[in-house]
A and B are shown apart, each in its own frame.
Chain A
Amino acid sequence: MTRKTIATVWLDGCSGCHMSFLDIDHRLLDLADMIELVYSPLVDRKDFPESVDITLIEGSVSNQADLDKIRHIRAHTRTLISLGDCAVTGNVPALRNTIGAEPVLQRAYMEPDLLNAQIPTVGVPPLLPVVRAVHTVVRVDVFIPGCPPSADTIFNALSDLLNDRQPSVAGKTRFGA
């Protein structure tokens, strides 16, 4: 049996979904025989591989770098999964959508009484005007809502995909779970 290649990506999220992924615990050993983790914040590789079977996306699309990344990843991924509420709905990062990006930057960088207050522009990507759920930017194949989705939910969905079944999370997780 050939191993399926897996990537995990961290966009605008808190890493809680990755923590939940690690909470799969000893069952990771079962998965380890079936997968090859080729790209992830958990492994040391800088560039996204040419072709990946399954990519899990944590986080919303909030800045220009997120947008560039997700478009590139979609083009090089067979099955793209929106993992967790930030990827699925925008969630907490999208709270700023009611007021826009500029007031958030002003509040964080200009309003506090800082020495030489300035909004950073060098070495950081500009914020998008609106925080987007992943599927509003690129096609998404599987949705796993939850904040974060439980380890069981992630494990079951991955097991289904590794066995060439379409995962069904209906009734097992929810927005805010």
Chain B
Amino acid sequence: MSRVATLKINGQDVSGREDETILEVARENGIPIPTLCQIEGLSNVGACRMCLVEVAGISKLLPACTTRVAEGMDVRTESERLTHYRRMAVEMLFAEGNHICSVCVSNGHCELQGMAVALGIDHIHLPYLAPRRGVDASHERFTFDANRCILCTRCVRVCDEIEGAHTWDVMGRGVGSVVITDLNERWGDSPTCTSCGKCVQTCPTGALFIKGSAVGEMTKRNTFLTYIAQMRGNLK
């Protein structure tokens, strides 16, 4: 049994178990922190940098989803500096891929698009890279469009941690990173993929979608994640 820590979030006195993260304790207390790569039921990786918070006494910003609470911690979840960095991170995601919302299957249901609205982003300051990325439509039921991928690795984690197949993984480094199926082989030829569709349903953007979806038609259903995690006792 973990000990209980008392701390402050945005000046408010809160308490949480010492094995809990800042994000978990904040949410228990109704304090919102924006997230993109995090999803309840999967492990946390701190990939998207949306949940960065300020902790008094520490000069660098810390991701709330992977930082444990500690006794006497003084956390701020909102500031001009945080908004600046969150906006910058989202703008980088838009500039780095090819996110053409108007022709995307997830238009209107996309978590990246929603984050841009939440942060008041009305244009991208950075130059668009317009990378040449592929589309894998070899699977019978699903399509992977790398142009819309933000490398949140939800697909990698859900496939490994929930389905147990580990079909997805990440290849390359930095701006050249890409999620792949098996050893960068065609998804449709994958001997490990069970075609369960969990990756599709947890993907926050239109990068993974059900074949035949037209613009704005792809809504994701991922409530199964919380249910499975609870049944397995993975959720605290």
Contacts and interface: CB of A to CB of B under 8 A. Distances in A.
Nearest to B147: A98
Given A98-B131, A176-B107, A170 B100 contact: no
Interface string B96-112: 00111111100110000
Interface residues of A, number: 27
B90 to A, nearest CB: 11
B123 A176 contact: no
A94 B102 contact: no
B101 A143 contact: no
A169 B130 CA distance: 26
B102 A91 contact: yes
Nearest to B126: A136
A88 B122 contact: yes
B231 interface: no
A89 B123 CA distance: 7
Contacts of B103: 92, 95
A91 to B, nearest CB: 6
A54 interface: no
Interface in A71-96: 82, 85, 88-92, 94-95
B101 A175 contact: yes
A90 B117 contact: no
A166 to B, nearest CB: 12
Interface string B116-152: 1100101110011011110000000000000100000
Contacts of B128: 89-90, 94, 97, 133
A145 interface: yes
A130 interface: yes
A70 to B, nearest CB: 15
B113 interface: yes
Contacts of B124: 89, 133
A174 B130 contact: no
Contact of A176 (B102, B133, B147): B102
B123 A147 contact: no
A171 B119 CA distance: 9
Contacts of A98: 98, 130-133, 147
Contacts of B99: 175
A176 B108 contact: yes
Contacts of A4: none
A135 B128 CA distance: 12
A117 interface: no
A130 B130 contact: yes
A99 interface: yes
Given A94-B130, A147-B101, A176 B122 contact: no
B233 to A, nearest CB: 39
Contacts of B122: 88, 143-145, 169-170
15 contacts: A88-B123, A89-B124, A89-B128, A91-B102, A92-B103, A94-B100, A98-B98, A98-B132, A133-B123, A169-B122, A170-B122, A171-B120, A174-B113, A175-B116, A176-B102
Given A143-B122, A170-B120, A171-B120, 11 more contacts: A89-B123, A91-B100, A92-B102, A97-B128, A97-B130, A98-B131, A98-B132, A98-B147, A135-B123, A169-B122, A176-B104
